[in-house]
Structure 1
Amino acid sequence: MTPAAYAVLNLDAVRHNLSKVRSCAPSAKVMAVIKANGYGHGLLRIAEALQPVDAFAVARVDEGIRLRKAGFKNRIAVLEGFTCIEEFNELLDYQLEAVVHSVIQLEIFEAGTEPNETCAVWLKLDTGMNRLGFKAKEFSSAYQRLKQCTQVKQPINLMTHFACADDFNDDKTPKQICLFNETIAGLSGERSMANSAAILGWKQSLSDWVRPGVMLYGISPFPDSTGQQLGLRPVMELRSRLIAVKQIEAGDKVGYGGSWTCEKATIMGVVAIGYGDGYPRYAKVGTPVLVGGRRVPLIGRVSMDMITVDLGTGVHAKPGDPVTLWGDGLPVEEIAQWADTIPYALVCGVTQRVQLVEKHYELNLRQYYQR
């Protein structure tokens, strides 16, 4: 049975975007960020497409365990590290790498009693994100404490994270780069600074490792461009179909609250998608939708299961006609602007009701599968 709402995933695009990363940072190792279910694209599917990378990065221990249980042998770094002895033991059991950013983590390492079980670590310096990591004045002490821990695999890797790399007019990124380099001067271990925005826009941030995230999915990390404009290929297309086509007259009000009033007679289409599928609840009237490849505007409020669009007059639309909510010809970055959000939130927000279909299965959706 063909699903009403589904997302077509182009895994060739993932591999193309990885090649773009490598062309931007040819001397660096690549740690592909596939947290949050591969940014909504399917954790295992994306990991499989990115097998050539040097390492994966996930946010939480359970994501890393899922990869290990699926058979992935790549290095896996857990960006949030661990918060208790139980998670620490899981890191050891599944050979995951920990980002170390707090005194509590140091104390857990220091209390370790199994020197034959070691864990690779990424010691995080807070250079201005003010979220996770040790401040510069604390960093040397944390580094020395880890060097004395028998369960820490040596050498210790070093990392930081940028707060404003998507803004070329903000001077915070070069200040963060400078602080990182000054603080770690003379310390052994591999370095990592660059996220997607820095890979594309701050060449001075490139070091031993880069950590691409959103660019792997074909999405621009910058607010004023699309991935395609940067030479990336979008991976996800969100699609549905018309389920009703009807005439509406001047003065008719559409949707919950009657917030949209028809100014002149037109043809309205009802599309089988809504915020229950992850389409943004606050998409404004006028948000573009592709119906049969033609741009038409959203009208009325987005509801849980449906949206309505103005098909205009003199058209021959019918139930079953294909609809694209974002994808080819309609960048997700554009939809994000109409909804006052960011494209990350849109792709990560696609719900379990939406079937994920690899592109080569698209013509025969009965063969789709979801991971």
Structure 2
Amino acid sequence: MTIRTATATINLSALVDNFTAIKLLAPKSKVLAVLKANAYGHGLALIAEALSQITDAFGVARIDEALALRASGITKPIVLLEGFFEAQDLAVLADNNLQTIVHNEQQLNEICNASLIQPLKVWLKIDTGMHRLGIDKQEFPRYYQQLSQSSNVQQPIILMSHLGGADDKSSSATDRQLSLFESITAGKANELSLANSAAICNWPKTHFQWVRPGLLLYGVSPINDLLSNINITPVMTLQSSLIAIRTLAAGETVGYGGAWKSKGKTKIGIIAIGYGDGYPRHAKNGTPVLVNGRRVPLIGRVSMDMITVDLGVNSTDTIGDIATLWGEGLAVEEVASCATTIPYELLCNISRRVKMTIK
């Protein structure tokens, strides 16, 4: 009997196939592969290395992520998607050939007034309606002029915005954002970037010169309806093992608070995974788990290190059998829905004690 504790298997061939599928949707666009939050839980350096020969650039949220990529030998362009936070960061960006987004007055002033060994590549972020990061329409001429004239900025700058509702094809929000973005950037010869994963699938008019896939790279649907125009494969499969099998009589309860009661005699399986590994604590009774290729329901509350499933009275499963929590054969989107959350959170919450293997 070999017990496997929580293990995330990363399928790098699926990753490359997903990238190829994205390029088929946006063949004229360059790709900025988004590796925020440890590459959505998949391993920052691992994913970067697998994409380093085919992507045009990488996007990260923080400077420490960018420096970790440089330390691992990644030489492709890296963009700080939140920009730099302090003036002293600019020297680090210049030393490590890192690109930055500019989205506020402080960043504009600090980059224009800095003393740098070489100019920086800048992406100017415009707020077109998401109201998170970005400059307003009326601010654009001033920012554009100052950045275009600064000796600290490589020319030409790239113009970008971010879509807040591209996952919903029935919403008019994306059309409004696209119209505003096009009106602001009209007449400019600069490269443009607007499309995230959902827009790559749903809104071809937003592709422009750069697309910025995140979730889609990892084989997870970024849109509300079924993907009909792209074939993607989960890159991560999260698995563990059955570590105990018990027989219950009718009326017996399972777990903290007795949150589940058996309606009849059955066998239950205890799986070595819990919220301490990143499995969602709020997954409800009935959340699917794959055991020996068949779907069985989660029962009782998720514990720190264990979950329980109803194997059925006639099951022949044994201790050591593999349970799949999401990935190949079980979409993480479905598990996220059962936990009233989103796939991003499940993938990014994989804890450090989960073993990572490569397929």
Q: What TM-score does the superposition give when structure 1 sets the normalisation length? A: 0.94
User: CA offset at residue 161 of structure 1?
Assistant: 0.5
Match of 1:119 in 2: 120
User: CA offset at residue 250 of structure 1?
Assistant: 1.2
- Contact persistence 1:79–1:99 (CA under 8 A): yes
Rounded to whole Å, the distance in 2 between the matches of 1:317 and 1:21 is 40
- Contact persistence 2:4–2:241 (CA under 8 A): no
Match of 1:365 in 2: none
Q: Deviations over 1:112-142 (max 9, x none)?
A: 123x421000000100110000011111111
* Partner secondary structure for residue 72 of structure 1: coil
Match of 1:218 in 2: 219
Root-mean-square deviation (Å)? 1.3
Counterparts of residues 12-27 of structure 1 (less than 5 Å): 12-27=13-28
Match of 2:350 in 1: 350
Match of 1:260 in 2: 260
Q: Which runs of 5+ in 2 are unaligned?
A: none
Q: Deviations over 1:80-123 (max 9, x none)?
A: 00121122221111110000000000110122123x42100000
Match of 1:363 in 2: none
Match of 2:194 in 1: 193
* Greater alpha carbon shift after TM alignment, 198-207 vs 143-152: 143-152
* Greater alpha carbon shift after TM alignment, 86-95 vs 301-310: 86-95
User: CA offset at residue 185 of structure 1?
Assistant: 1.2
Q: Which amino acid aligns with 1:76?
A: I
- Contact persistence 2:119–2:153 (CA under 8 A): yes
Match of 2:316 in 1: 316
Q: Which amino acid aligns with 2:92?
A: E
Q: 1:237 to 1:64 in 2, by over 3 A?
A: same
Rounded to whole Å, the distance in 1 between the matches of 2:66 and 2:286 is 41
Q: 1:267 to 1:228 in 2, by over 3 A?
A: farther
Identical-pair percentage: 50
Rounded to whole Å, the distance in 2 between the matches of 1:113 and 1:221 is 41
User: CA offset at residue 317 of structure 1?
Assistant: 1.4
Counterparts of residues 140-179 of structure 1 (less than 5 Å): 140-179=141-180
- Contact persistence 1:83–1:104 (CA under 8 A): no
Q: Deviations over 1:198-245 (max 9, x none)?
A: 1111011010111111100000001333x6984101101000000000
Match of 1:45 in 2: 46
Q: 1:285 to 1:171 in 2, by over 3 A?
A: same
Rounded to whole Å, the distance in 2 between the matches of 1:272 and 1:291 is 13
- Contact persistence 2:120–2:153 (CA under 8 A): yes
User: CA offset at residue 2 of structure 1?
Assistant: 6.4
Match of 1:250 in 2: 250
Q: Which amino acid aligns with 2:326?
A: W
Q: Which runs of 5+ in 1 are unaligned?
A: 360-371
Q: 1:306 to 1:228 in 2, by over 3 A?
A: farther
Q: Which amino acid aligns with 1:278?
A: G
Q: Which amino acid aligns with 1:7?
A: A
Rounded to whole Å, the distance in 1 between the matches of 2:26 and 2:229 is 19
Match of 2:136 in 1: 135
Q: 1:131 to 1:277 in 2, by over 3 A?
A: same
Q: Which amino acid aligns with 1:171?
A: S
Q: 1:229 to 1:333 in 2, by over 3 A?
A: farther
* Partner secondary structure for residue 88 of structure 2: helix
Q: Deviations over 1:239-296 (max 9, x none)?
A: 0000000111111111011111111111010000000001110001001111111111
* Partner secondary structure for residue 311 of structure 2: strand
- Contact persistence 1:4–1:272 (CA under 8 A): yes
Q: Which amino acid aligns with 1:296?
A: V
